[in-house]
Amino acid sequence: MEEAELTTRLAGYIAGQMPQARDVAITDVARITGGASRQTYRFTLSWTEADGVARRRGLILRRDPADSLIDTERRVEFEAYRAFHGTGVPVPEMLWLEEGGEALGSPFFVAEEIAGFQAGPGVLWSAPYLETHAILGAQKWEILGKIARADPAERGLTAALPSVKADDCWRRELDHWEEVLDADESEPLPIIRAAIRHLRAAPPPPAQKVGVVHGDYRTGNFLYDDQGGVHGILDWEMCHLGDPLEDLGWSFNPVWYFGRGMPGGLLPRETAIAVWEQASGLRADPKALKWWELFACVKGQAIWVSSARAWLDGANRDPILVYPAWALINAQDRAALHVMGRL
């Protein structure tokens, strides 16, 4: 769909959601590049209230592409954002969700834009951000601890997300991502297959609690400022119920070291664990955490090979799908070797 058509149809949709408003218009539509799983646009909505007051608001549209890097339901992401809005976990306000294709051709949601902050990790490695790493890292793992501490039932997520037993969290996730590898890999992966055998041979203990797992909590998926403040946790499309250590392990995936030799490129591993334990009230059992770190390598590799598969199958030829396949498959192999103590 061309941008002009998208703008017209989106304006029509929003006008239908705001029957009290007049002169609903959309301007400044701009695609935000970089996301491989959803098409993201920022735009300005303007309208006139029934009392004649003119208003404007910056909003975000997240729409499913023809073939996504990650196959997830739009509702999962929407409900996860909604669950944490107004809590100590900063997220944008969700406005409207459409799960059908009638309005814009594919499912989408519209949310508040949290403007004025950085998201991509590229600028983090130079001034003035370089000086903020300790504060930013502490914020990052403190917020992850708050997600781990949250009660899924209180947050209204037990209705939206499939349940799992504490002793089955690891198996469900490993089964799922191994199936993705089986279906999507275009080249055999001896290191990751050895990692899977290792994980199955020595499973972790049952989860301390079945909590909310963000599913993609890493540097690059939150909004930050130049003082080390975090203003929005993004990309909840892989959110699920499970072992909170899964998120901690994913945040320690060495492909997110950014060449700086520490988790997220921000904090020493032990410091990040201490912050997370304090905020979550949970213990990061070293053996269990190691299991989830190696699992993160398997999951990461499954996502990267899916990216290659989506491009190879031709449904989506976005070059963003080639980047993980080329740049991260070897890095993820190396990460797995590192976690297994072989590199």
At its nearest, how many Å lie between another protein and the CB of residue 159?
Answer: 37
Return the residue of 31, 176, 200, 269 that touches another protein, per CB under 8 A.
Answer: 31
Q: Scan residues 64-123 and list those touching another protein (CB under 8 A).
A: none
Q: Rounded distance, CA 73 to CA 130, Å? A: 36
Q: Does 5 contact another protein by CB under 8 A?
A: no
Q: Does 258 contact another protein by CB under 8 A?
A: yes
What character string, x for contact with another protein (CB under 8 A) and - otherwise, covers 152-191? ----------------------------------xxxxxx
Q: Does 268 contact another protein by CB under 8 A?
A: no
Q: In which residue are the tokens 């909505």 written?
A: 45
Across-strand partners of 27?
Answer: 44
312 and 186 in contact (C-beta within 8 Å)? yes
Q: Which two tokens stand for residue 83?
A: 């669950």
At its nearest, how many Å lie between another protein and the CB of residue 194?
Answer: 6
Q: Which two tokens stand for residue 101?
A: 């294709």
Number of residues that bind another protein (CB under 8 A): 41
What character string, x for contact with another protein (CB under 8 A) and - otherwise, covers 207-246? ----------------------------------------
Q: Rounded distance, CA 100 to CA 163, Å? A: 25
Indicate the residue among 19 and 319 with the shorter CB distance to another protein: 319
Indicate the residue among 166 and 194 with the shorter CB distance to another protein: 194
219 and 258 in contact (C-beta within 8 Å)? yes
Q: How far is CA 53 from CA 61, 71, 111, in A?
A: 24, 42, 22
At its nearest, how many Å lie between another protein and the CB of residue 19?
Answer: 31
H/E element, 18: none
Q: Could you give the residue ranges of the DSSP H alpha helices within the chain?
A: 3-17, 74-84, 133-149, 169-184, 190-201, 245-251, 269-280, 286-313, 322-339
Residue span binding another protein (CB under 8 A) among the ranges 98-106, 174-182, 231-239, 256-264? 256-264
Indicate the residue among 142 and 333 with the shorter CB distance to another protein: 333
Q: Scan residues 309-338 and list those touching another protein (CB under 8 A).
A: 311-312, 317, 319-320, 322-323, 325-327, 329-331, 333-335, 337-338
Return the residue of 12, 34, 100, 128 that touches another protein, per CB under 8 A.
Answer: 34
At its nearest, how many Å lie between another protein and the CB of residue 31?
Answer: 5
Indicate the residue among 30 and 130 with the shorter CB distance to another protein: 30
Q: Scan residues 190-209 and list those touching another protein (CB under 8 A).
A: 190-191, 193-194, 197
| Phi, psi torsion values for 327, nearest 5 degrees | -95, -25
Q: Name every residue whose Cβ is closer than 8 Å to that of residue 22 and which is 6 or more positions away in sequence.
A: 47, 48, 50
| SS3 assignment, position 40 | strand
* Interior/surface letters 97-122, b for 16+ CB within 10 angstroms, e for the rest: bbeeeebbebbbbbbbbbeeeebebe
Interface with another protein (CB under 8 A): 3, 30-31, 33-34, 186-191, 193-194, 197, 254-259, 308, 311-312, 317, 319-320, 322-323, 325-327, 329-331, 333-335, 337-338, 342-343
